[in-house]
Amino acid sequence: MVKKGTTLVIGASENPERYAYKAITSLRSKDYPVCALGRKKGRVAGVTIATTPEEWGHIDTVSLYIGPQHQASFRAYLTTLKPRRVIFNPGTENEDFERALQQQGISTERACTLVLLSTNQY
C-alpha cells in the first residue's frame, strides 16, 4: 500500500466555519497526514497549527487558504519546500505566483480541496 502524501494547509484556523478548518478535518478523516500553518496557534483534528514556516519533511501537497495579498511571504518557502503540487482554493488564485511555482517544477491546480476529497480526486 502506498502511503498518502502529507498535505500542508496554509491559512489554518481553529474556526469551524473556515474552509481551512474543514479541509483539515476532511483530510484527517481520510487518513491523510496533515501539517498546518496559520496566524494563531491552535489544534484542529489533532493537528497542531504552527505560526511560522517549519521544516516538516516531505510535503506532497500544499493547500492554500490565504488570499493573493498574503502569499508573497510564502514564495521562497514553497520553492525550497518543493511540494509536488499547490492547490489554489477558490479566492486564492494568483496567476503570477502559479507561474513562478510552475517554473520551479511545482504543479499548480485551481481547485477546491474539499471537492477533490469528496469526489475521490485528491
Find, among 36, 41, 38, 74, the residue nearest to 56 by Cα: 36
Residue type, position 38, single letter: G
**Residue closest to 32 by CA, chosen among 54, 67, 63:** 63
- What is the arithmetic mean of pLDDT over 90-114? 97
118 lies in some domain? no
Amino acid 1: pLDDT:
29
Q: Which residue has the higher pLDDT, 58 or 22?
A: 22
Q: Which pLDDT value is given to residue 55?
A: 86
Grid cell at residue 62: 500544499
Q: Could you read off the pLDDT of 57-93 as tens digits, one per residue?
A: 899 999 999 999 999 999 999 999 999 999 999 999 9
Taking the model in full, what pTM does it have? 0.95
The number of folded domains in the chain is 1
Q: How far is residue 4's CA from residue 20's CA, in Å, rounded to a whole number?
A: 19
Q: How many CB atoms lie within 10 A of CB 89?
A: 23
pLDDT at res. 27: 97
Q: Is residue 102 part of a domain?
A: yes
- For residues 70 and 3, the model is more confident at 70
| CB contact at 8 A, 88 and 71 | no
Q: Could you tell me the CATH number of the domain that includes residue 43? A: 3.40.50.720
Can you tell me whether residue 84 is helix, strand or coil? Answer: coil
- Is 43 among the domain residues? yes
Residue 119 located in a structural domain: no
Cell numbers for 53: 514556516
- The per-residue pLDDT for 46 is 96
121: in domain = no
Per-residue confidence (pLDDT) for residue 2, from 0 to 100:
40
Q: In the structure grid, which three cell numbers stand for residue 42, read together?
A: 491552535
**Domain containing residue 100:** 7-113
Mean per-residue pLDDT of the chain: 94
Is there a domain that residue 2 lies in? no
